[in-house]
Amino acid sequence: MTRAVLSLGSNLGDRIAHLRAAVAGFADVLVGVSPVYETAPWGGVEQADFLNAVIVVDDPAADAREWLRRGQALEDASGRVREVRWGPRTLDVDVVTVTGVDGPVLSDDPDLLLPHPGTPDRATVLRPWLDVDPAAVLPGHGPVAAVLAALGPDAEDGMRPGPVL
Ligand SMILES: Nc1ncnc2c1ncn2[C@@H]1O[C@H](COP(=O)(O)OP(=O)(O)OP(=O)(O)O)[C@@H](O)[C@H]1O
Ligand SMILES: Nc1nc2c(c(=O)[nH]1)N=C(CO)CN2
């Protein structure tokens, strides 16, 4: 098996429709879907609030690169245009972690960094991940609950319940 944790984000166009399209795109391999959060943007670019969620997918035949490829195909299908780094997007699909039969997959290939290096700093990923998997562990960092707690009491400020997927 390879199981992947994928983070979804959208702040352009019909945000919930973009997230729903991503979930539908993984329907054949879906094992978990988090609640959606409406979140204030991080990263320093002035832009609209995001909707963020996390899904867990599992497919014995998929390797890590296949999860990246599927996510990018869905980003393209949403009409995503790549412009400003950390700027507005119809759909972002990040591969947060991949776990194979031998344990966590680690990668320092710039095209596919695993675990995704932004994860320990992003409550917008950690919170929904914890919701969908309370026992989740971030390889190299420990339990997701502890990683989120280490961000401090204000980490989830600016995160509100979003629409239902
Ligand atoms: N774990 C990963 N998941 C998704 N993309 C990755 C990953 N590791 C490296 N990349 C690469 O990152 C590149 C830029 O992706 P993208 O434009 O979505 O970044 P971003 O969402 O703006 O920033 P961030 O990756 O910090 O969230 C892609 O070309 C992709 O190959
Ligand atoms: N709240 C929030 N802010 C962001 C997000 C995101 O998914 N949520 N993604 C970004 C680019 O990857 C930049 N900023």
- List pocket residues of ligand 2, CB cut-off 6 Å: 9, 39-43, 50, 52, 86, 92, 124
Taking 80 as the threshold, does the pLDDT of residue 83 lie above it? no
Distances (CA, A) of 38 to 70, 76, 131, 164: 24, 22, 15, 11
> What is the pLDDT averaged over residues 136-154?
98
Is residue 75 lining ligand 1, measured as CB closer than 6 Å? no
Q: Return the H-helix or E-strand segment holding 137.
A: strand 137-138
The answer to whether 59 and 6 have CB atoms below 8 angstroms apart is no
Q: Which atom of ligand 1 is nearest to the CA of 111?
A: 31
The answer to whether 74 and 93 have CB atoms below 8 angstroms apart is yes
User: Tens of pLDDT along 107-118?
Assistant: 999 999 999 999
Which ligand approaches the C-alpha of residue 125 most closely? 2
- d(CA 96, CA 8) in angstroms, rounded, equals 10
User: Tens of pLDDT along 44-64?
Assistant: 999 999 999 999 999 999 999
Q: Whose CA is nearest to atom 31 of ligand 1?
A: 111
Taking 80 as the threshold, does the pLDDT of residue 82 lie above it? no
Q: Which atom of ligand 1 is nearest to the CA of 86?
A: 22
What phi, psi does 118 have (nearest 5°)? -80, -15
Domain 2-161 homologous superfamily, CATH = 7,8-Dihydro-6-hydroxymethylpterin-pyrophosphokinase HPPK (3.30.70.560)
Is residue 86 lining ligand 1, measured as CB closer than 6 Å? yes
Taking 80 as the threshold, does the pLDDT of residue 20 lie above it? yes
Q: Whose CA is nearest to atom 13 of ligand 2?
A: 86
What integer pLDDT is reported at residue 12 of this predicted model?
Answer: 94
The two three-digit tokens of residue 109, written as one number: 């290939």
Q: Which atom of ligand 2 is nearest to the CA of 89?
A: 11
Compute the distance from residue 119 Cα to the ligand 1 centre, in Å: 12
The answer to whether 95 and 115 have CB atoms below 8 angstroms apart is no
What is the overall mean pLDDT for the chain? 96
